[in-house]
Structure 1
Amino acid sequence: MPIDVERALSAEPVSTRITWGHKDVQLYHLGLGAGVPATDLRELRYTLESRLHVLPSFATVAGGGMGVVGALSAPGIDVDLAAVLHGGQRVETHRPVPVGGSATQTSSVAAVYDKGKAAVIVLRSEAADEDGPLWTSEAQMFVKGEGGFGGDRGPSSGSGTPERAPDREVRRSVREDQALLYRLSGDWNPLHADPDFAALAGFDRPILHGLCSYGMVLKAVVDTVLGGDVTRVRSYSTRFAGIVFPGETLRVRMWTESDGGNGGDGGGDPKGAGGAGRVLLSVTAVERDDAPVLTDAVVAHS
């Protein structure tokens, strides 16, 4: 069997040194569509070095963004990368991500689940600098054809979104060139740039990186619900449910909950927007009859 679960889980973690600076952060934010309008003070927080703050989702690309995916080469893992899909992502921040710095990133296989016709490999990456832990990132990699080995099925999927109307709804346009810009942050997969390669994969044109959609949605939540304060984000998790094509529009529906479990007020400022709670999300592609993009998406905040 290509996946030796016991060997993969017992393997020593792999540590690498990563560094980043303000240019890496600015490039990442621009790849998410930040900077429009260019002189808007709210956008300059993402693009101008003298005002810069860092979206926590930057953790997925810091140092080239290969820490978690690199764990696919761990002992006991021998899979065809063509059969691997990025099924889900979670980032937890332990303190605000600095504009520039260096850290030790440690990656390992945290779990392997048996989904019947497929396996799900949970790859965990933890980053820490001299002051302590910075973030923990987990990627769920769906490997087609590698299930059926009698293992644990793993936790069930999230609870979805409330039946009531969303407290907020925004739209975010994906530029035609956005995948070309985003890939400069480290994901060079030709699926997101080369039409011929995309055709071989079954798409009529290149698709947007799932982690680009992931970052775009977090920015929308920060700007809409959290008053532009990235330091309030504690964790952000989602399941990738569908693709996005450059040029499309994301519809982002948001339901707010306080730590006490109360929902938003259905309009205006959500209850608990100034305190700790969660934002539940549904993200769809407007031009394709609201085809699902992100599901089971949750931003926990202070």
Structure 2
Amino acid sequence: MNNMWGSVAQYSEIYWPWPIAVYLFLAGLSAGSMMVALLVKWNYHKQENDTIWDAMVKAGAIVAPITICVGLGLLVLDLGKPLSFYWILIKYNFGSVMSIGVALLLVYTPFAFLFAIIIFEKEIEKYPIFAILRPVSRFIRSFAPLAKTIETVLFVMAIGVGIYTGFLLSAVYKIPLWNTPILPILFLTSGFSSGVAANILVGLVCFKHLINKENVKYLLVLDLRAVLFELPLIAILFIGLYFEGGASAVVAKQALTTGHYAIIFWVGVIGIGLVTPILIAATALKNHAYRVGYIIANSLVVICGVILLRYYIVYAGQVFTGA
């Protein structure tokens, strides 16, 4: 049995363990980070110098490809036969959500790296360590419209990846907590929120000299809206389960009131991940003030809340089945 943060032996066996929860978090984070980077680039990049990008865009160009690769690595290891994973890249069954997701990621991942090459074009030309990437960078530069096409495809793919992380679970009809149409929307929204937080953190740490305060304020607004949207989505998820009756109603009650899973939900997901960012936004960051310490704290609690949400949904869904 694979357990996480304490034994669940008294309930039932966990078939989808912690690597799946982390993979779902990282895939959503990657998608959210990419969407945020592109939104900032399209709306706020410096028109007078297109070779210098805002810190939030550079952060997204780093976060998105790295997190999706780490997530895929965990997924491959969890399959149990990591040396045979290539079969899922060869044999597709488009009646399977998993297979559709693999095809989606097969397009999204290399495009995420191409986006990073576009954004870090200047660094690639300057530093010898990146010499191997120069032909790709120059090829893209020689076809200027190609860069815009890559960005457009990436944005659509990022939305698809964010939604897919929820569909991967909702397709399991035997688990009431997963088998709901709300889950893909909730995972897309929370992934976007974590992407905002991650881009802000990496931007402040790695690209402080390129920080545009207006961009940070813009992202704080987007993050607050995403957080406010998550609350009714979570409410609808459990209200829907309750009024569905039968095993679903039992699951809704158990998941919200039983053991450490209830504590994780109310304290971690709701308290830390959603209520705390709202309080920070309403007080220390009122009117989207640029206060670095509180902005970092806000980003950290948002990321923590999203991780706990993935863990809670993955584990509570398997533990509480209404049986």
Q: TM-score, normalised on structure 1?
A: 0.29
Bigger strand share: 1
Task: Give the number of the structure with larger relative contact order, counting CA–CA contacts within 8 Å between residues 6 or more apart.
Answer: 2
Kindly name which structure, 1 or 2, has the bigger radius of gyration based on alpha carbons.
2
More helix, by proportion: 2
